[in-house]
Every structure is written in C-alpha cells, then in structure tokens.
Amino acid sequence: MVSQSSSVGYTIMGKTADLTVVQKTTTDTLHKEGKTQKVIAKEAGCSQSSVSKHINREVKGRKRCGRKKCTSNRDNRTLERIVKQNPFKNVGEIHKEWTAAGVSASRTTTHRRMQDMGFSCRIPCQATLEQQTASEASRSQSLEEEEEAQNPHCLRSSVKFPQSVMVWGAMSSASVAPLCFLRSKVNAAVYQDVLDHFMLPAADQLYGDADFIFQQDLAPAHSGKATSTWFKDHGIPVLNWPANSPDLNPMENLLGIVKRKMRYARPNNAEELKATIRPIWTLITPEQCHRLIDSMPRCTAAVIQAKGAPTMY
C-alpha cells in the first residue's frame, strides 16, 4: 500500500540526503516565520544540517547541481494521479503503470519521485466493513488533521466470511469457454448437468469435430461411477492423472491469472463478485491459453525431476 505523509530524513554514506518537497515547503514556511533551525528540523523530520544547507542555498540563490531530471512536471502529475487512484498498489505496479503511460523512467526513479511528492510505503490497517462504514459516516471537515493510517480511504476491508461463488470453466489452447456459476453444492447429478449444458457446447465451440481429451480435477463428483459412465456414454476420453497435482493442470494457472486481476476488487455480495469475474474471464486472450497449454511438457518434466514435489509451475 502507498500512503502520503511527510518523510523522515535519513543519511546515506555519511552524506545528508536531499529534502523531500514536503520537507522543503515546511522548512521555507517556518523559516519565514522566524523559527530556529532546530525547531524547523524537528517539525520537518530531518537533520538540522539539512535545514541549514537548504536555507543557505535559497538565500544565496544557488540551485542544486547535477543531471537534469528525466521526467517532466506533466509526467510527475501523471504519477501522482496513478498513486492516488489506488493507494494499495506497490512500487513495482505503479512503475509499470507509469511507464505504460509513456514515461521513460526506472523503478528507482519512480520510487524517488514518489518520495519527493511525500508518498511512502506502508502496510495498510484492516477494518471490518462495519467499522469502515461507520468511520466513513463520521468523517468531517477535520479529516486533514487525523492520522492517515486511520483514514477510511486507506483502510483495507476485512470480513470474517468473505463472499464466494462456485464457478465451472473450461479452456483449450485456442480460447476459453463461457463460465457457469453454480448455485448449489456440486454432487454427481449437478456435475453431469453442467457437463450436458456447458461442457458439450464448449467442446463444440473449442474443437468442432476434432478429437480431444478432457482433463478435470478428481473431486468425488468428477470421479464417481455415475460420472464415469456419463463420459463413456458420450464417448469422451478423460485424462488419467494423479490426484492433488495442480502443477499438471493449466486451469490452475489460468484461475491464478483471474485472481491476480481481481486483487483490488471489493465486491460486497455474491452478485457483485460475479459481475467482477465475468469481464475478466472474457478478456482472457487465445495467446494466454496457448502459452499455458504449450508449457505442459515443461511442467511434466519439472514434476518428474522433482519426483512429485512442488515445482515453480
């Protein structure tokens, strides 16, 4: 999470670090009010020598020497907007989004610009939905004076029983099939109904008249005698593979992609959760599916080499 606050001065290799924009502004304001350098240093959260150097530089009209900054004021405003849109992003994610906006800057530069703006990385406090709602309702004009750690905008929602939905989906090396949201506990009868109304149409969509082998996890409803009979009656071969081996199932990786894209979503109920999942699923590209299927020989080799132990896949 990224939050905005005044930064604390620090020392690197025996040399006083540069003041942030917030610290410079605080120093200039207090200096004009006639405060001593000791008081200014305490208020700005930096060393007294840093305050003295900054004041002397401003009095003598000297500017900081060194290479010209590689980002413009417009680039910096773009960065500030990205940070404020979602304070829960980390520096790497912010840097990726900033460069995607056309800014040529390193991750270190991104971090430095954020520090200049007064932003710093913090672990967000958690609050239940009830606490967060009550906190938002009690907000007043004095919000600027309260600690940002308790600002409702910076609290990460936490619920004791988070919303969940049960989903069935299918993929091939070409694309994904439409999702099916299940309303009840999955037993053999429910699963066979899903196969009838979703898997068979998906197979026609993904394979046409071509042959295929169906892979599924080995839940009781999937591997029961009645379900096995269903597959035989419909002439669909099922892949025989070890139980509890997610490294060998590309669907696990695909669901991982979906979950990562949902990390910032905050659905309040099951319907909102479904509404979040649907567009993410439809945006999965054929290239992503092909890469996952194409990786299976390497996954298999890695599992064999690890003798069944977990792998990077």
Find the CATH number of the domain harbouring 251: 3.30.420.10
Q: Is residue 293 part of a domain?
A: yes
185 and 244 in a single domain? The answer is: yes
Question: 273, 267 in Cβ contact below 8 A?
Answer: yes
Is the same domain home to 273 and 188? yes
pLDDT attached to residue 219: 87
Evaluate whether residue 139 is within a structural domain. no
- Residue at which a domain ends, from 38, 60, 82: 60
C-alpha–C-alpha distance, residues 91 and 97, integer Å: 10
What pLDDT shows up at residue 1? 44
- Which pairing describes strands 126-128 and 156-158: parallel, antiparallel, or unpaired? parallel
What is d(CA 9, CA 46) in angstroms, rounded to the nearest whole number? Answer: 4
C-alpha span between 23 and 45 (Å, rounded): 8
Q: What is the pLDDT of residue 283?
A: 92
Pick from 173, 226, 172, 157: nearest CA to 203: 172
> Domain boundary residue among 39, 60, 81?
60
- One domain for residues 89 and 40: no
Asked if 179 and 277 touch (Cβ cutoff 8 Å), the reply is yes
Q: Is residue 311 domain-resident?
A: no
Verify that 43 and 81 share a domain, yes or no. Answer: no
pLDDT of residue 134: 46
Beta strands in the chain (DSSP E): 2-4, 11-12, 15-16, 119-121, 126-128, 156-158, 166-168, 180-182
What's the pLDDT score for residue 130? 45
Q: Do 27 and 99 fall within a single domain?
A: no
Please tell me whether residues 255 and 290 are part of one structural domain: yes
Q: Are residues 229 and 108 in the same domain?
A: no
Residues 96 and 216 in one domain: no
The answer to whether residue 129 is domain-embedded is no
- Confirm whether 79 is domain-assigned: yes
Residue 88 lies in a domain: yes
Verify that 109 and 175 share a domain, yes or no.
no
Q: Is residue 258 part of a domain?
A: yes
Q: How far apart are CA 303 and CA 275, in angstroms?
A: 36
| Total number of domains constituting the chain | 3
Query: What pTM was computed for the model?
Result: 0.50
Write down the pLDDT at residue 138.
Answer: 40
What does the pLDDT read at residue 196? 94
Domain boundary among 60, 92, 109: 60
Quote the domain boundaries for residue 282. Answer: 166-305
* Long-range contacts, stretch 125-133, CB < 8 angstroms, 24+ apart: 125/149, 125/150, 125/154, 125/155, 125/156, 126/155, 126/156, 126/157, 126/158, 127/152, 127/155, 127/156, 127/157, 127/158, 128/157, 128/158, 128/159, 128/160, 129/157, 129/158, 129/159, 129/268, 131/155, 132/157
pLDDT 10s digit of each residue in the chain, 313 long?
443 433 333 333 344 557 888 888 888 888 888 889 899 988 888 888 888 888 888 766 555 555 677 888 889 899 988 888 877 788 888 888 898 888 888 888 998 888 888 887 766 555 544 444 444 444 333 334 344 555 555 555 554 445 688 999 999 998 999 999 988 888 999 999 999 999 999 999 888 889 999 999 888 889 899 999 999 999 999 998 887 787 788 998 999 899 888 887 888 888 999 999 999 999 999 999 999 999 999 988 988 888 877 777 7
Asked whether residue 18 falls in the same domain as residue 43, the answer is yes
Tokens linked to 19:
């003041």
Long-range pairs for 70-74: beta carbons < 8 A, 24 or more residues apart: 70/104, 70/105, 70/109, 71/103, 71/105, 71/109, 71/113
Q: What is the pLDDT of residue 60?
A: 61
Give pLDDT, residue 155. 53
pLDDT at 254: 92
Residues 183 and 249 in one domain: yes
Do 240 and 174 sit in the same domain of this protein?
A: yes
pLDDT of residue 151: 57
Any domain includes 155: no
